[in-house]
Chain A
């Protein structure tokens, strides 16, 4: 069996390179792989494109990546929150680019990317500036916007439990973007709260099969 367990967050993130497109799971503070993000900050990587729903919470997680100058571009749905203080500062200083995507479209673009699809058709964004430059396609008399799929070089995933195959379970609403991001990246790095022996995860409860996972580390 392939050895997927890394001894540390540093070891888990060693394949990351400057300029990578990186999915980061989480919604607000739920399901964010904070220790993996810390490790990326320590490596002083540059020019990353970060895809995540939010643009950081106070000074932790993605906020630290932004503060440390690791990020060239943010792709997210809700950049200006009460908590995204660092993003708002670096954005106003022109130090980071922003692409704002409707949340459901962001999720579906990632799902399409993880499903071998080129894109999908949605009514979301029709008649708004989100539709600018995108083809409108009529199906059975109904207009839809063509949205392209989205993949990443790296996904940073926060899971609850992991087994040696890399099978994952999630905890409550911390699931959010994590399972779809794990399916749509070339290299998937997991931070799990707990590791259990092979065969100990209920197969019915596994949300992300281990075949999607390249490396994991256990933090708690």
Chain B
């Protein structure tokens, strides 16, 4: 008999996560893209979908980041301070107007990274517990103001600690705002009844996702496999 081998489970790559988030965007949505992993979503949105990307520094109609630019134009950078293109029909507003549209219902969606998401939709993404200070950036305004908040993050921390839990242990950014969480193991909806497992990465079982989630995780009907 062959000796039993321990197979290391493979979480989704960042690219596969970005692709999955991109597939959930709808035509004509105005979508805020912040810093970090969410910036990887833009190139995966097909041109056939007319999604308008907003960057907090006053760009409406932002395109993808420019890979290996010959010249960096400091006047056209993303929120993550990387060179980007402006798509045809794009426009610029000053900072107060940029956040007016973040708060006034014009943003169909913001995609944010997170340290933690609670099963009641509370979001923590700006400060570590006991830290003297942290980075807020636009996260508090965007989380409180956008019609929908999607979170894109690894399912557990570098040390294997669950980031989806019943109650935040990190300082909150906004309360009761997260609608969906896209991780490297699963797609999870936040409902009035708590977390619901919608989709699962090819390498994982429902029990494994539950074991990595520090809150009840409901399954309603069929759980689709995330395409990679």
Does B associate with A?
Answer: yes
A interface residues (Cβ-Cβ under 8 A, vs B): 27-31, 53, 77-81, 83, 91, 98, 100-105, 107-108, 110-111, 122-130, 170-180, 207
Q: Are A174 and B95 in contact (CB under 8 A)?
A: no
Q: Are B173 and A111 in contact (CB under 8 A)?
A: no
The answer, among A83, A128, A180, for a CB contact under 8 Å with B96, is: A180
Chain A residues with CB under 8 Å of B74's CB are 28-30, 174
Nearest CB in chain A: distance from B94 CB, A: 5
Q: Mark B34-59, 1 if CB is under 8 A from A, else 0.
A: 00000000000000000000011111
Q: Are B136 and A101 in contact (CB under 8 A)?
A: yes
Q: Are B99 and A107 in contact (CB under 8 A)?
A: yes
Q: Are A130 and B136 in contact (CB under 8 A)?
A: yes
Known pairs A78-B137, A127-B174; A172 contacts B103 (CB<8 A): no
Nearest CB in chain A: distance from B107 CB, A: 11
Q: Are A172 and B86 in contact (CB under 8 A)?
A: yes
CA distance A30 to B98 in the complex (A): 15
Interface centre among A29, A31, A103 (most CB of B within 10 A): A103
Q: Are B136 and A175 in contact (CB under 8 A)?
A: no
Q: Are A78 and B75 in contact (CB under 8 A)?
A: no
Chain A residues with CB under 8 Å of B136's CB are 77-78, 100-103, 130
Q: Does B171 reach chain A (CB closer than 8 Å)?
A: yes
Q: Are A172 and B102 in contact (CB under 8 A)?
A: no
Nearest CB in chain A: distance from B23 CB, A: 28
Tell which of B139-147, B158-166, B195-203 binds the partner: B139-147
Q: Does B175 reach chain A (CB closer than 8 Å)?
A: yes
A-B contact pairs, 11 of them (CB 8 A): A53-B95, A102-B140, A103-B141, A107-B94, A107-B95, A122-B144, A123-B144, A124-B145, A126-B174, A130-B136, A176-B57
Q: Are B92 and A173 in contact (CB under 8 A)?
A: yes
Residue of B with least CB distance to A123: B144
Q: Does B10 reach chain A (CB closer than 8 Å)?
A: no
Top-4 shortest CB links A-B: A104-B99, A104-B141, A28-B81, A102-B140
The answer, among B56, B93, B133, B144, for a CB contact under 8 Å with A103, is: B56
Chain A residues with CB under 8 Å of B57's CB are 27-28, 30, 173, 176
Q: Are A78 and B93 in contact (CB under 8 A)?
A: no
Nearest CB in chain B: distance from A53 CB, A: 8
Chain A residues with CB under 8 Å of B175's CB are 126-128
Interface centre among B81, B96, B100, B102 (most CB of A within 10 A): B96
Q: Are B133 and A175 in contact (CB under 8 A)?
A: no
Q: Does B216 reach chain A (CB closer than 8 Å)?
A: no
Q: Does B138 reach chain A (CB closer than 8 Å)?
A: yes
Interface centre among B55, B92, B175 (most CB of A within 10 A): B92
Q: Are A128 and B174 in contact (CB under 8 A)?
A: yes
CA distance A175 to B94 in the complex (A): 6
Q: Are B140 and A124 in contact (CB under 8 A)?
A: yes
The answer, among A79, A110, A129, A180, for a CB contact under 8 Å with B171, is: A129
Nearest CB in chain B: distance from A21 CB, A: 18
Nearest CB in chain B: distance from A23 CB, A: 12
Q: Are B95 and A79 in contact (CB under 8 A)?
A: no
Chain A residues with CB under 8 Å of B24's CB are none
Q: Are A123 and B135 in contact (CB under 8 A)?
A: no
